[in-house]
Amino acid sequence: MSAGQLKAAITPARLLDEKGRLVRGAPKPDVEALAEGYRKLVFARRLNEQCGALVRQGRLAVYPSSRGQEACQVACTSVLADGDWLFPTYRDTAAIAARGVDPVEVLTLLRGDWHCGYDPNVHKVAPQATPLATQLLHAVGVGHAARLKGEDTVVMALCGDGATSEGDFHEACNFAAVFRAPVVFFVQNNKYAISVPLARQSVAPSLAAKAIGYGMPGVRVDGNDLPALEKVLGEAVARARAGEGPTLVEADTYRIESHTNADDASRYRADDEVSEWLPRDPLLRVRTYLTAVGALDARREEEITAAAEEMAAAVRAGVGGETPVDPEEIFAHVHSTPTPQLAEQRAALRAELEFEEA
């Protein structure tokens, strides 16, 4: 690995600074594409807010918020083609919605249902993974299979910083590098694995630097800088599609809210730490830039806000509906031909239910 490649793995790439100004020498982003990205950022933020409210109302079982990480959520899908795959974690609800899946369907799992709510094959989006890093192995398998079949599919495999401490992360990265699987490992380093800070997880120069050990490129990028994320991830996707193998991308970002509604972040981090990240808000940064170049005004802002409110209203209405329950589903989807014992148990349950209804 050259000195330049090592620097890319440690120093975050950036196009817009924290005040929404173009970094000296950086290429100007496509304004039209950035304006569309801003619309998606607003939608992602509104979805996070709405889901938090639904949890407090008892209409969602749990919601891991991605507030503060919306640029990562939008960028990882905007660089994919229709035939590419996304492998999300439990925190990537906004990314799945940005991929085009109905948010109501996405929230099915977090309402407590047994399935993910959408057809993964239709949307090319795997079910949200709750276990850390297990989805990375699945992602590599899909990518490797596509390569063997001669397809140009690229797989975007998402994980957090905590997942990089798991054995599955190592196995997925090593296999992908050896067999040049078309996978982009996208680590959203939000600084905490639930309550464990990054300093207690790794002493590597950066998480992207771990790519050196696998023999693949590693790139660190400002995770609150939408155009920088799209540039870095876009280059990684192009590299994978060209048959040049995987890339490990680390986004330097921050989880503004608690791990989930069941977590009390005040027990392991200070308010001052959160306050330091608020001015680096990804929405504020893009809004400032677009306004400065004349691509965003009050009228357009109102249109985007109104559309986001319509989405939130549709989520409230959709999540409010009751999901039909079929108790006999507990016997389905295990064996193509049920065993005699399962058939007997199913008949007993059916008889009990019929007795109750009589």
The model's pLDDT over 249-290, given as tens digits with 9 standing for 90+, comes to: 999 999 999 999 889 999 999 999 999 999 999 999 999 999
The residue assigned the tokens 């996978």 is 183
CB 92 within 8 A of CB 73: yes
CA dist., res. 36 & res. 16, Å (int) = 16
Placement of tokens 């999540």 in the chain? 319
> Which residue has tokens 């400032």?
288
- The count of other CB atoms within 10 Å of the CB of residue 356 is 7
Residue 250 phi/psi, 5-degree rounding, is -110, 125
Query: Comparing C-alpha atoms, which of 298, 70, 18 is closest to residue 188?
Result: 70
State which residues of the chain have pLDDT below 70: 1
User: In which residue are the tokens 């306050």 written?
Assistant: 275
Q: Can you tell me the distance from the alpha carbon of 68 to that of 292, in angstroms, rounded to the nearest whole number?
A: 22
pLDDT score at 261? 85
| Contacts of 174 by beta carbon, 8 Å cutoff, 6+ apart | 214
Longest dimension (CA), the chain: 77
Enumerate the active-site residues: 255, 259, 268
pLDDT single digits (tens) 161-189: 999 999 999 999 999 999 999 999 999 99
Specify the residue for token string 């008949």.
347
Interatomic CA distance for residues 67 and 255, integer angstroms:
7
Distance, CA of 300 to CA of 306 (rounded, Å): 10
What's the pLDDT score for residue 1? 65
CA atoms within 13 A on the CB side of 115: 11
Q: What is the pTM of this model?
A: 0.93
Identify the pLDDT of residue 340: 94
How many Cβ atoms are within 10 Å of 17's Cβ, its own excluded? Answer: 17
Q: Is the dihedral of CA 328, 334, 337, 340 positive or negative?
A: negative
CA distances from 248 to 47, 185, 188, 357 (A): 28, 5, 11, 56
Residue 244 in contact with residue 276, Cβ under 8 Å? no
Half-sphere exposure of 172 (CA within 13 A, CB side): 33
Residue 52's Cβ-count burial label (10 Å; 0-12, 13-18, 19+) is: middle
**Cα(145)–Cα(81) distance, rounded to whole angstroms?**
18
